[in-house]
Amino acid sequence: MKFSKLVKEQLGCYVYGLIDPSNDKIFYVGKASHNNRAFDHLKEIGKESGKARKIAEIRAVNEEPRVEILRYGLDEQTAFEVEAAIIDALGLENLTNVVRGHGVVKGRLTIEELERLHSVKPVLVDDIKEKCILFYINQTYSPTLSEPEIYDMTRQFWHGVSAETREKNEYNMALAVVDGVVIQVYKIEAWFEAGSTLSTRASKGKPNRWEFVGQAQDEHHLRGRLLVDSDGYPIPSMQQGYSYLPRK
């Protein structure tokens, strides 16, 4: 199936959902522009992804996923915002999307979180003297996750944490960071091999992967704050998934 040429011209940038016909629920949200991307997912046969597995499950009972347009005729930035808002509303854990969408700063927040974020100025990371490890959880975070789920995705399963860091534990404050915003703060009590402590997540007991146990610090002064670099922009995520402050 595909859109006609005239329909594609009218669509512009659009946001779409893939629908499970057994319950009429959206299981994937996407964004596209003047094309048939919404239908391309249905060609993903045999791929190792949650979305592909869901499509296969639907077809296994002789049904076919539906494509529905959620909003169209948008400019690109608005399409990104609409896509992120829908993912926030449904909850990433209820979808097969891999990432939340664009922008936690303007995303789904409680009133308390909104006040913490915007009632004070952003924090310049170079001004932070307390020894912290920043864990960038952009890829897995959703505002509808429970506190135990956020805790586990912050503390697990990190590659290459040095023996010095684990044994000395001088960097004993963990900041869970999404798009530059400190979602939660934990005091690190001890480090363990990945998969060796009780968790809400499936174990990833691979060599040289580590996890910590700790306590939430709800009243920490950095919780809910936006961290910015010297150029005034939110700090970017690091490729390895974490970084240290003060910077090593």
Half-sphere exposure (CA, 13 Å, Cβ side) for 83?
26
Per-residue pLDDT band for 118 (boundaries 50, 70, 90) equals low
Q: What is the DSSP letter of 213?
A: E
- Rounded Cα distance between 175 and 212, Å, is 13
Residues contacting 41, CB < 8 A, separation 6+ = 18, 28, 30, 51, 55
Least confident interval from 44-48, 225-229, 233-237: 44-48
Confidence bin at 156 (pLDDT 50/70/90): very high
* Pair of tokens at residue 84: 């992120």
Residue 42: what pLDDT?
A: 87
Which tens digit of pLDDT belongs to each residue from 176-206?
998 888 999 999 999 999 999 999 988 777 7
Give the residue with greater pLDDT, 5 vs 212: 212
Nearest to 26 by CA among 34, 37, 39, 17: 17
Q: Is 171 exposed, middle or buried (0-12, 13-18, 19+ CB in 10 A)?
A: buried
Span 50-72, pLDDT tens digits: 899 999 999 999 999 999 999 99
pLDDT band at residue 116 under the 50/70/90 scheme? low
Confidence of residue 161 (pLDDT cuts 50, 70, 90): very high
